[in-house]
Structure 1
């Protein structure tokens, strides 16, 4: 079995963000970087599947500049067999379809049986790359999975729907799955596995060598949200509050005009 897990490096969400000098993106110079949290669950599930199957090759793939090699190395220490970086210094200027197109450009001829991605990235949160990748590869996908079981070429997955409802789906391989938080408990890389990861293959593929690499969005401006007035908190008995709200609506809006 051939397994692929796609990961992304994101800024630590506790970082202090500021717009860069060009006013086009955030300044990356003082940011701490880490593997996207959703992708940690995807890596763990991929490793679990590899351990279950036994005869499997697990590749971890990431798009971005050279700093993305760090989360790739973490995934290798967690149990992936080989890493691939699609080197792209302009990845911040790609929309979800463009990102998925580059990932598909690499993966399409590799014959992967199962592909995992995180449900979404913590920085952009589009939740689109995984399902777009499946569509471009022409394979079925199940998104937002919270449970996963493989047996005899069929995967039974539990999906999280709105309102806390769960749906159980059965999918034949090849297929792609996007992973929700809580799917499993991601393992911590141990020191021996970190040392082993240093000897594992980590390839670099230039984005320019893949179809669609010249497609970039044009960023006009990046700016902080406009500051608005503070909210008004009303306290008291319900009857009094109703009168206050009506008074505010008459004074501040055209509702009663």
Structure 2
């Protein structure tokens, strides 16, 4: 059995962000970096399947500059067998369709039975890469899963929908799933496994070998929301509050004039 898990390196969300000089992304200087939180659930689930099956082969893939190798080492220490680093210093400039195209091109002839990704990345938050990858590969995808089971070449998942509703979705392998908070509890790599990870294969591929699709979108501008004035608190009896509110609406909008 062959399994692929895709991860992304993102800034620690406690970092202080500022817009880069280009105006199209955040400034990456002086930021602390970590594995995308949703991808940690994907790695943990992939490792659990590997442990369940016994003879599974698990590859972790990450796109980015040289820096992302440190994050990949955590995935290797969690239980992945090898790493594939797609070297791309301009990965942040690529839209989800391009990123999905890179992953699909790598996976196309590898015959992976299962592909795991995070539901979305914490910095871009598009939630598109996983499902686009599955579409490009022509395999079923199940998104936002909070429960997963595998047996006899089939998967059964529980999806989390808006309003707290959950649905059960089944599919036959090969298939791709995107992982949500609550799916599992990611393990902490032990010191022996961290040491073993240093000896595992970590192959680097140039992004030019895998980028076969053209961008369909581009980021025009990034900016912080404009700060608005504080709210107005009205006090008094209900009748008085109604009169005050109507007067304010008349002054601000002229709608009730």
TM-score of the superposition, structure 2-length normalised? 0.95
1:65/1:233 Cα in 2 relative to 1: closer, same or farther (>3 Å)?
Answer: farther
> Unaligned regions of 5+ residues in structure 1, if any?
none
Detail structure 1 runs of 4+ shifted over 6 Å in the superposition.
none
1:24/1:169 Cα in 2 relative to 1: closer, same or farther (>3 Å)?
Answer: closer
Tell me the residue number matched to 1:17: 17
Contact persistence 2:84–2:203 (CA under 8 A): yes
Contact persistence 2:97–2:215 (CA under 8 A): no
Tell me by how many angstroms 1:51 deviates: 0.2
Aligned partners of 2:215 and 2:192: how far apart in 1? 41
Aligned partners of 1:107 and 1:199: how far apart in 2? 24
Contact persistence 1:93–1:216 (CA under 8 A): no
Aligned partners of 1:191 and 1:238: how far apart in 2? 64
1:173/1:256 Cα in 2 relative to 1: closer, same or farther (>3 Å)?
Answer: same
- Pairs within 5 Å for 1:144-223: 144-212=144-212, 215=215, 218-223=218-223
- Pairs within 5 Å for 1:21-100: 21-100=21-100
TM-score of the superposition, structure 1-length normalised? 0.95
Deviates more, 1:188-197 or 1:97-106: 97-106
Aligned partners of 2:40 and 2:19: how far apart in 1? 28
The SS at the match of 2:69 is helix
- 2:18 matched to 1:6? no
Tell me by how many angstroms 1:8 deviates: 0.5
Deviation string 1:42-99 (CA, Å, 9 cap, x unpaired) is 0000000000000100000011111111111000000000000111111111111111
The SS at the match of 2:192 is helix
Tell me the residue number matched to 2:256: 256
Tell me by how many angstroms 1:220 deviates: 4.2
Aligned partners of 2:135 and 2:216: how far apart in 1? 20
The total of aligned residue pairs comes to 257
The SS at the match of 2:189 is coil
Aligned partners of 2:38 and 2:128: how far apart in 1? 13
Aligned partners of 1:211 and 1:120: how far apart in 2? 21
Contact persistence 2:98–2:211 (CA under 8 A): no
Tell me the residue number matched to 1:123: 123
Aligned partners of 1:100 and 1:238: how far apart in 2? 56
Aligned partners of 1:236 and 1:43: how far apart in 2? 56
Tell me the residue number matched to 1:226: 226
Aligned partners of 1:126 and 1:219: how far apart in 2? 13
Aligned partners of 1:227 and 1:168: how far apart in 2? 42
> Unaligned regions of 5+ residues in structure 2, if any?
none
Deviation string 1:184-211 (CA, Å, 9 cap, x unpaired) is 0000000000000001000001001113
